[in-house]
Structure 1
Amino acid sequence: MYLSTVSRPDADPPSSGRPRRGLALVSGNVVALGTVSLITDVSAEMVTAVLPLYLVLGLQLSPLAFGVLDGVHTGASALLRVVGGFAADRFGRRKLVAGVGYALSAVAKLGLLLAGRSVPAIGAVIAVDRLGKGLRSAPRDALITLSTPAEALGRAFGVHRAMDSVGAFLGPLAAFAVLLVVGQSYDAVFVTSFCVAALAVVVLVLFVRERPPGEPTDRPGDPKVSVREALGLLRSRPTRRLLLAAALLGLATIGDGFVYLLLQRREDLGLRWFPLLAVGTSLAYLVLAAPLGVLADRIGRLPVVVGGYAALGATYLLLAGPVHGWPVLALTLALYGTFYAATDGVLIALAGPVLPPRLRTTGIALVQTGQALAYLVSSVLFGLTWQAWGPDTAIRLAALAVAGVLVVTVLLLASPSRLFTRKVPR
């Protein structure tokens, strides 16, 4: 099950010097990228924490309409992820492509002010924000994989995602504080979010290196990555298995907004407490991301990913169960945070070394695109099911989908071939 620890002729060279063990420090580029993600997530989660209330309770959107917008929130970036990933590989400008993505997402926060109460305009602004995320995610993750030896990818992504989750933890608290100060003024949240996002772009420009240590510079006459070479990734059987598994896992995942709306509805929470639901998830993510990353390096990344989706299935079952109260609420948020900690970075760590360095960004973009498109379908279907048969039936069907997808994922990725079972020597 050690897909991400395959020895390849074109794999990243081993790090020089003394081997790093345990929770040793990761590279400076990973820390810089983690800082950018931390600041960006403060901005993003400020908006995410209030957007479901603004759309469903403020604008009176139906569950289906919210599902479409929520799917657009992730799915709109799908094709641009591949274009951005290919451009970053072809021209060797991963930092530049990522920077454009971060800048787009920052500007989108101001776009929410101009959109007013127009649902189509809000949908367009959300799409721009996700286009920015689509551009930046693959180049950022590729820089992490290229800044880290293969045997430490779980730890590197765990540290990065832990820093990212600090931002996710602070963002809803910041939104909560702004709303306490100015009342139910969502515009103030959007303006504050833009200022924070702009700071993240500045940190990226000043501190993230375009070429991590150990990556050779391009020489005049070196062939650039071609479309044909990028399409060649799809001829690799392990890559095809990975892409299919990623898409299926995305299909079994509903949006955070739905999870928090269901919790608010079940527990009859006051609206002012709604932004704090994301804080509980982010706290569990923050605590577990780095330890689960280290665990994935030791026991295999696939078992950790499977465990994460098992936690997601348990979350859905709790949302559909008859038991109420604060202990169940806390357990639900803890399991939801565990899901993110065990899957978000670990899945990319699992994929990284299977992809050649020249096409690393393109390959990661393909994985993320498969998940984004599947997530778009999942959000629309969940919203439609909620509207047709009610939230309880919808969430039970989601739990059933997680169980079925996990079985297929294990069959796809737990291959007996050497490619999936061989460890990298330490």
Structure 2
Amino acid sequence: MEKQVIRCSKFVKVLGIITTVLFGLMCVVPLIAGHFLMALCFFPFTFLGIALLLAYQKQTIVIDHNTLTFNYVLKKSIEVRFSEIRCLLLIPLGNRTQMALIDRGYNRLVTLDSIFGNSDLLFDALAEHEVQIVDFEELLEQKKDVSKYVGTLNAIERNYYQSIVQETETIDSISSDRCRFDFEKAKRFLRVLGIVLIVLDGIAFVVGGKLMMVLFVLVILGSYAVYLWYYPYIYIETKTKKGEQVMLQMPFLGAAIALLLNLTSANTFGYDQIAYFKTTSIIAVVLFIPFVIKSVRIKVPQRFVRKLSVVFAVLMMSFTITFPVSFLLTSEKPTHETIVITDKDVDTGNSLTDYELIASWRGEEQEFNVSKSQYLKTSIGDSRRVCIRKSLLGLEYYSVHE
């Protein structure tokens, strides 16, 4: 066999040139102007471009008659004889596949980078020397013994496949003890429900007022109720092909839209952050109780990550519905206090534009979020009224009007 050299793909070279030139200029120009800190910020990106160019030049795989030589930029070259190689192990990790050469003692010889351009030359050389290609995920799906290969996995690969094994056990348990409902009918129901929830979001946005908040809360709590009803047969994402076939898919888009719009609607009111989080904690505990009951009652094994994801989802829901629920549970008449506007400001720091009136209130300078129309018709020195309400949950919130 003639000596062959595999280099990084040309994309690495092109990206290295573009990155080096672009960020190099962004370093040099501020440096000339005396902005040393700005130049320092762009230097790591310039270094990255140089590293890509060095990788294209230095990082190679040399295929010889009996050996493979792996050359690196900063590491010492590794020479591997074909006779030492047991197999090429494919290790799928979601949307990418790691490849490693394994020796006769099931140790990892070298990990193959995915940046090489013509990997077919390597595969042909391995095939010529009768080196097998082993797919680790396929072995797992066929329930074959993989214990000899486990020691070759690094921490990331091991954790990934450990979670797959746990999920497979859950799927097998669910498959052997089928749910007490029509599975296909449930799929059709969830598809229709997803459309209905999005339509309700649209209606809520158009009608506004209290009805808007009622609909948003119903969409969020309705989605959560459906999740609990079908738990653990429902999922948002799975890592196994069998899981996608057996599990129900959660229609979460409607709830996600409602969550975002809830945060937007609460933006025009003010409240004490500590009191807000206290109310959020109360709502979270109330919402989490049904999940604990359902989780304890089912016999299907549940991954810790799955339970943890529900906890975070409950916290997110609780945070976003705290204000709407507090608003709807307000029965007392509002009280009013007069303020004098001392300044105005427009905050464009986030994805939304906040219009703020600034005044001294209760002994300190306070920023009040208002609508754009209210902002435009208010001048510095004008008097405005702060409308203060208190919810049955204990949250005090306020808004400004004429």
Q: TM-score, normalised by structure 2?
A: 0.25
Q: TM-score, normalised by structure 1?
A: 0.24
Structure number having the greater helix percentage: 1
Larger RCO (CA within 8 A; separation ≥ 6): 1
Structure number having the greater strand percentage: 2
